[in-house]
Chains A and B, each alone.
Chain A
Amino acid sequence: MTGSVNDPVLEVKGLSTSFFTDDGEVKAVRDVSFDLAAGETLGIVGESGCGKSVTALSILGLVARPGRVVAGEILFKGRDLLSIDREELRQIRGRDIAMIFQDPLSSLNPVHRIGAQIEEAMRAHDKIASREVRPRGLDLLRQVHVPDAARRVRDYPHQFSGGMRQRVMIAMGLSNRPEILIADEPTTALDVTVQAQILQLLRDLNRDLGTSIILITHNLGVVAGLCKRVIVMYAGEIVEEGSTEQIFDAPQHPYTWALLRSLPRVDADRHERLRSIEGLPPDLIAPPPGCKFNPRCPFRLERCFREDPELEPVGDGHVAACWVTMKRAHAEMGAGSLVDTGPGAASGVRPPIAPEAPDPSGADGQDVESETQDRG
């Protein structure tokens, strides 16, 4: 790999992607910007619907209708992937930037042998001599530690286990030696022991081949093990970005902080009640004004209802979009000993307009959501 670690191989600038549905415009990704340096491992974490997968699909020009990228630039080595023609993009996709998905079974063709599918991936981009195709396919399978590869290239996808299929997907992704590998929940469908093996494989590829990796996942443990830098997304926006140590040791956005506290840990030494985050993520057609996390935030201020916070530096290479930040929440609101995690519990700020009494015949989805409460 050429270029120093500081050279961004991918720059995403002001990316916004929306889905135009019958109910309105779903702003799935809003004003997302980040860089990926050569050889870096970047994690994008968040819950269902936070926009992490749509961000990845937008990078590769794979957003399906009724969705479309409405603003932004995606610079791969200085070229904007959003303005080049389809054929050029097709060449970059798969050759320079490869993607692997959560479900390897639905990404593989059930009626073709594994070997043929890997060879197809190679032929799609490189001018490669026919007699080299087969040995290189075999090499790739060995590289991802598929045992007995010479025999198994003749197998069909259904003869492979989930973990082995994911290895095949990774082998296909690597077939053109991409500079960037985007892995969208690559281990979510797998058992924990298999997950550990796949993560080890991704770590080795990053170290040995210098492939930059974007790992998209909801699993904070997986990110902690693989990534050097982490982006946290909520309701379509980046709410915090920093080094893995910064995010896990001193999260500054209340959402990141609350997410980490809500996890049961296998190494916990005593039983404590889980600190859940009350309520649900907002409706992306009509998100709340101000900070999108304000309906669930224990530390919210009056300002959070009116003004949407921008990402501001909170440390060296660490940014967060919050009017309060956890530094202040710890110093002034006793965040460390907080037991009641309800909205406004620590700051005492209730919504500026009192919520209406529950309407038994009300039919809109919003009030269903606001009525769920955590007991106790």
Chain B
Amino acid sequence: MVKHFNVGVGAVCRAVDGVSFEIRAGETVGLVGESGCGKSTLARVLTQLTPPTSGRVVFDGVELTGLRGESLRQQRKHLQMIFQDPFASLDPRMTIGDIIAEPLTNFKVMRGKAKDARVQELLRVVGLNPYFNNRYPHEFSGGQRQRIGIARALALNPKLIVCDEPVSALDVSIQAQIINLLEDLQAEFHLTYLFIAHDLSVVRHISQRVLVMYLGKIVEIAPSDDLYAHQYHPYTKALLSAVPLPDPRVESQRRLVELSGEIPSPLHPPSGCRFHTRCPIAQVPGVCSEDEPPLEEKAVGHFAACHLSERVRTDLS
């Protein structure tokens, strides 16, 4: 999949470039990477909120990228999204009952008493008082608003929910409540999640598989435990080495894999491997600045796009 944004005067922003992956039913796939790596663009293309420049999105056997108008709208029922900011993603002038009922109204699934009952059921499911349906978003805390956003996403019994940084705006004690809720709902309603976050600890906790993105490309994909046990891409290694741990002893022995420079502009991505300008082990000039590394299977189910993946383990640990 490719998403280029035309940003005027002949410049093209390659936000997502040549990305391919699959999500299996019932699975939670984590997507990590730093600001500007393309993770939110990828989510928007996946849900067809933004059309891709080229490439296909196939959902449950249906090619979404080929659909237009009403047929695309019908598919959206199965594909919902939870957003980062629980303050911006709820209309302040609607009651939470109306907010949660909106998808039901839009798709004419239910009306009258049945709809009211469904709203109350959804509130109960996300751990809120079912009689709060007449209140407005400002009466709720951040964690409670995120519960309201989750109830809205659940209203149409979707198959896939794309969670874009759903807990990063929440306090630590509330974050755990929402993560537990998402896990309970997944078990109860057989949901599939694409979980986007910059917090690697949260992603490790909730995901079975993890995708790591850098500058519009997927650089590594692996089952969560494998990825955290060993890395085949130096960027993943650097990311993990930088995660602060609530443990002074581990912290005092931290070995940071330092990246030089800053993330390049996606308007002019580097040649060859996009990471070579910051990579601690790159051969420049050489293979890394000339050839783009393909995403290859380095161990069972563990893919990485690096020419020197063997050296990641020997030189960087």
Contact = CB atoms under 8 A, between A and B. Distances in A.
A195 B183 contact: no
Interface in B117-147: 126-129, 131-132, 135, 139-141, 143-144, 147
A312 interface: no
Given A193-B239, A196-B242, A267 B250 contact: yes
B143 A280 contact: yes
Contacts of A280: 141, 143, 174
Contact of A274 (B131, B205, B238): B205
Nearest to A364: B139
A376 interface: yes
For A197, A218, A376, the residue with the greatest tally of chain B CB atoms inside 10 Å of its CB is A376
A221 B244 contact: yes
Contacts of B141: 280, 369, 372
A225 B253 CA distance: 10
A64 interface: no
Interface in A354-370: 358, 360, 365, 368-369
B201 interface: yes
Nearest to A373: B127
B129 A371 contact: yes
A176 interface: no
B176 A266 contact: no
Contacts of A375: 126-127, 180-181, 184
Interface stretch (B154-162, B255-263, B300-308): B255-263
B244 A222 contact: yes
Contacts of A147: 261
Q: How large is the interface on A (under 10, 10 to 19, 20 to 34, 35 or more residues)?
A: 35 or more
Given A192-B198, A266-B228, A372-B144, A259 B256 contact: no
B246 A260 contact: yes
A161 interface: yes
B221 to A, nearest CB: 18
Interface in A199-252: 199-200, 218-225, 244-245, 248
A195 B173 contact: no
B200 interface: yes
Contact of A374 (B127, B243, B249, B262): B127
B39 to A, nearest CB: 12
B256 A264 contact: no
Interface string B79-94: 0000000000000000
Contacts of B248: 224-225, 244-245, 248
Contacts of A371: 128-129, 132
B310 interface: no
A68 interface: no
Contact of A224 (B180, B201, B244): B244
Contact of B245 (A48, A267, A360, A376): A267
B242 A192 contact: yes
B240 interface: yes
A105 B43 CA distance: 27
B315 interface: no
B171 A47 contact: yes
A191 to B, nearest CB: 4
Interface of B: 34-35, 126-129, 131-132, 135, 139-141, 143-144, 147, 171-177, 179-181, 183-184, 198, 200-202, 204-206, 228, 238-251, 254, 256, 258-259, 261-263
Given A259-B172, A266-B245, A274-B180, 16 more contacts: A48-B171, A197-B258, A221-B245, A221-B251, A248-B247, A266-B228, A267-B250, A276-B173, A277-B177, A360-B131, A368-B129, A368-B132, A372-B143, A374-B127, A374-B177, A375-B180
18 contacts: A192-B243, A193-B259, A195-B244, A196-B241, A248-B246, A258-B173, A262-B172, A264-B176, A265-B201, A267-B250, A275-B176, A276-B176, A280-B143, A358-B131, A368-B139, A368-B140, A371-B129, A372-B127
Interface of A: 47-48, 147, 161-164, 191-193, 195-197, 199-200, 218-225, 244-245, 248, 258-260, 262-268, 271, 273-278, 280, 358, 360, 365, 368-369, 371-376
